[in-house]
Structure formats: C-alpha cells, structure tokens
Amino acid sequence: MGGHALLHGDEEYNYSRMSSLENIPLLYEDDYLLAICKPAGLSSESGKALHPSAETCVQAYVREATGRRRIYVRVVHRLDRVSSGVLLLAKKREVLHRLMQQFEARTVQKIYVAEVVGMPPAPAGELMHYLARTADGRAAVVRGFPFEGSQQARCSYRVLEQREGRTRLELVPHTGRFHQLRAQLAHVGCPMVGDVRYGGPAWMPNAIRLHALRLQVQHPFEEKVLLIEAPLPKDWWP
C-alpha cells in the first residue's frame, strides 16, 4: 500500500504502514456495517498513538473497495488487544449510534471461549464480584464485596472440555467491565492461558486464550437478527 492519508476527525495521518484485510477474516458485510475476526495482538482502535489497528485496517479495506478517500468506519465495541474474535464496525454514523444503543441496553448477546488453568468452582455457574481499575488504569482489582470505586461484574460460565490441567470454558458476560472475564476467572484461581498480567502461564507475545466466539445483534436498519461467529484460532488445542 502506498503512502496515502487517513482522515481522522479534523486531522490527517499517514497510513502507508497499515495493512488492509489480507490476514484478517471478513465475517459479514453489507452497506451499513461489517464484522471481522480480530486477531490477538491487534488493537481494536488506534487512539492517538496511530499504531495499526482493526479499525484502520478496515478503513483501508473500505477505501480500496470503494475507491473513495473519505469514508466512515468506526469500531462499535472493543476487544482487548490480547484477545481475538468477532468485532463489529459501522459504516455510517447513524449505524454506529443505533448499534451502540443496543450495547448500552445490553440487548446484544455475546459468547466467549477461554482456556484457563485449573477448574472453576463447578461445571457451570455464575461469577459475581466487584471490580475496579487499579490506580494506573492498566489492570482490574476484584473482590467479593463492594469497595470504593467498584462496580458489580457478573458472568455465566460452562465447562466445555478439560485437558492436562487446563479447562476450556464458554463465557457469557452480563456486565461489561474492564478486563472483567480475565480478572474474575483469575480471582477464582483460573487465570487464562497467556494472561501473565493476571497470573496465567506465558503463551505467545501479546496474546491470551480469550476469543469472542459469537455475537447476536439486531440489524440497525433491516428487520433481521445478525448472528456472527468467528472460528477458534487454529493454534488453540483441537
């Protein structure tokens, strides 16, 4: 890709080193939105640092596909940089607004899969804790009772498989707190593989075994429900 410029708000940035979707699976696309399978290690959006991100890669893809320099593509929700899976992006401002309303109303259904060390308290159940960010904002503190600055964090889980001291879990978050799934599982003695920040064993740089498997959302302009699924990464166990 050449040294084109990426318009971001009222500023202009060079994106000559940003890729398109060559190595990022496109899961769904129409005139209003699209969904990709974000790989672990790639940020959902760049922010001020302007590093390549899922958002900038999709912007480059749409720019190439339409032949237009000025386009609108924005991430609707975020996945942690170290995780992978379904990521939704809007192609119009009104689409972004309507989809974000669904996320805020918690009508969007999300299912994750994680591989953890150890075994949770039961084969299936719900985890309910209180969570707050650390002072530097880079991690989460979890306790079983309310404390200053905390918010309730809830998720359901189900054991899918066990192998050699590790467990594959299906996770359904009922709240959307910072690092919620990672921190809650670590709190009950089941840190995710690769999640060194929360006590898990090392795996790959900038990657943990947490995958956004499935997302169900009402289409913002059409009378249909979208069910989008991203296959598990091939480098997880079969």
3-state secondary structure the chain: CCCCEEEECCEEEECCCCCCCCCCCEEEECCCEEEEEECCCCECCCHHHCCCEHHHHHHHHHHHHHCCCCCCCEECCCCCCCCEEEEEEECCHHHHHHHHHHHHCCCCEEEEEEEEECCCCCCEEEEEEEEEECCCCCCEEEECCCCCCCEEEEEEEEEEEEECCEEEEEEEECCCCCCHHHHHHHHCCCCECCCHHHCCCCCECCECCEEEEEEEEECCCCCCEEEEECCCCCCCCC
Boundary residue ending a domain (65, 87, 107): 107
* Structural domains counted in the chain: 2
Residues 9 and 76 reside in one and the same domain: yes
**In a shared domain, residues 100 and 168:** no
Question: Based on the domain organization, do 204 and 141 belong to the same domain?
Answer: yes
Are 170 and 144 in the same domain? yes
pLDDT by residue (tens digit) across 208-233? Answer: 999 999 999 999 999 999 999 999 99
Same domain, 83 and 117: no
236 — pLDDT class (breaks 50, 70, 90): confident
| Of 74, 107, 140, the domain-final residue | 107
Q: Are residues 40 and 10 in the same domain?
A: yes
Q: Report residue 3's pLDDT band, with 50, 70 and 90 as the boundaries.
A: very low
On whether both 44 and 22 belong to a single domain, the answer is yes
Distance (Å, whole) CA 108 – CA 137: 26
Q: Are residues 145 and 195 in the same domain?
A: yes
Stronger pLDDT, 13 or 89, i.e. the higher one: 89
Using CA atoms, how far apart are residues 2 and 113, in angstroms rounded to an integer? 38
Over 50: is that where the pLDDT of 29 sits?
A: yes
Boundary (domain end) residue, out of 49, 77, 107: 107
Residue 135 falls within a domain, yes or no?
A: yes
pTM comes to 0.88
Asked if residue 88 and residue 157 are part of one domain, the reply reads no
* 9 and 103 assigned to the same domain: yes
Stretch 47-70: mean pLDDT: 88
pLDDT of residue 49: 60
Mean pLDDT of 79-87: 97
Identify whether 234 is part of a domain. Answer: no
101 and 115, same domain (yes or no): no
Please write the tens of the pLDDT for every residue from 138-159: 999 999 999 999 999 999 999 9
pLDDT of residue 238: 59
| pLDDT tens digits along 154-213 | 999 999 999 989 999 999 999 999 999 999 999 999 999 999 999 999 999 999 999 999
Residue 223 is assigned to a structural domain of this protein: no
Owning domain of residue 115 = 111-211
> Which CATH number fits the domain that encloses residue 170?
3.30.2350.10
Same domain, 58 and 124: no
Catalytic positions are 80
CB 149 within 8 A of CB 109: no
Q: What's the rounded Cα separation, in Å, for the pair 222 and 33? A: 12
User: Please, are residues 84 and 233 in contact by the beta-carbon 8 Å criterion?
Assistant: yes
